Amino acid sequence: MLQDKIFKKLIFTCGLLIILLGIAIFITVLIGSIPSIKAFGFHFLSSKQWNPVSDEFGALPFIIGTLITSILAILISIPFSLSVALLLGEFFQEGILNEILSSTIDLLAGIPSVIYGFWGLVVLVPIIRNIEMKCGIPPYGVGILTASIVLAIMIIPYTASIAREVIRLTPPEIKEAGYSLGGTRLDIVRKVIFPNSRSGIIAGILLGFGRAIGETMAVTMVIGNSNTLPKDLFSPANTMASVIANEFTEATTNIHLSSLIQIGMWLFVITFLVNLLGSIIIEKTEIKGGLNG
């Protein structure tokens, strides 16, 4: 009993410290953002101007760039992530193919982001540039689409790993019952495995989305670093993380530095809201699944 009480207190203390750490980080960036908040107010979020020379700053191009690249990366990665998860979690749960693919997924998750960025510059940018030339588009090579593809490759391991584990947890009795009713392998995947694993798959997708929102180095290397609103998927742009990485050390005025810190604050808020929304979606999904069952 004494050990249980000590263990509970330890867990409670660790959880409280994490909460306090999150609050402390937010307060720190909030204090650093005060000069730009006073100067621009909420117009900071809707302004398209970013001109350090005239001290005009607005975060809208970077918010749009962040959301477009992250959402597009998720849409690109989902078919590959679910395919890999289904292959490893249902069709090849053991054997040499499982070991090779599992090792490859773990390797992709551990590769530093700068390596992904370098690969994007060397391999992906020339491919995108050739496509742009054939389509009559200015051949930048770098841009929203390039960054989204790199991000999609980076987040596949996170979504696939979680989805694989929840697919493996599908009770064999349910699958056998489906087969006994005349269901095919495709029917079992569509009507048994995916519905039973829905909340875990959503959790993996949201984890990948959060990873994409905060990615910095790889995106900075291939997005083009343009402080304007992107006109299309091939346009150079910037994300909230990449503009901070590009300009933080070069900020010479207090208002410029404060504007960058405020972008970091809103990035913190967006990430928090995505995680909160994910928790709500997962909870609702689990409740509906329980009611349907």
Q: How far apart are CA 63 and CA 162, in angstroms?
A: 28
Q: How far apart are CA 105 and CA 33, in angstroms?
A: 39
DSSP letters of 200-262?
HHHHHHHHHHHHHHH--HHHHHHSB---S--SSTTS-B--HHHHHHHHGGG--SHHHHHHHHH
Give just the sign of the alpha carbon dihedral 175, 181, 187, 192.
negative
> How many helices and strands (H and E) does the chain possess?
14, 2
Residue 259's pLDDT is: 92
Residue 2's pLDDT is: 60
Beta carbons of 86 and 263 less than 8 angstroms apart: no
- Per-residue pLDDT tens digits for 165-183: 888 877 777 777 777 777 7
Domain spans of the chain, in order of start: 62-292
Beta carbons of 224 and 142 less than 8 angstroms apart: yes
- Per-residue pLDDT tens digits for 206-242: 888 888 888 888 899 999 888 888 888 888 999 999 9
Question: What is the pLDDT averaged over residues 40-61?
Answer: 87
182 backbone φψ class: left, alpha, beta (φ>0; ψ -120 to 50): left
The CATH architecture assigned to 62-292 reads: Orthogonal Bundle (1.10)
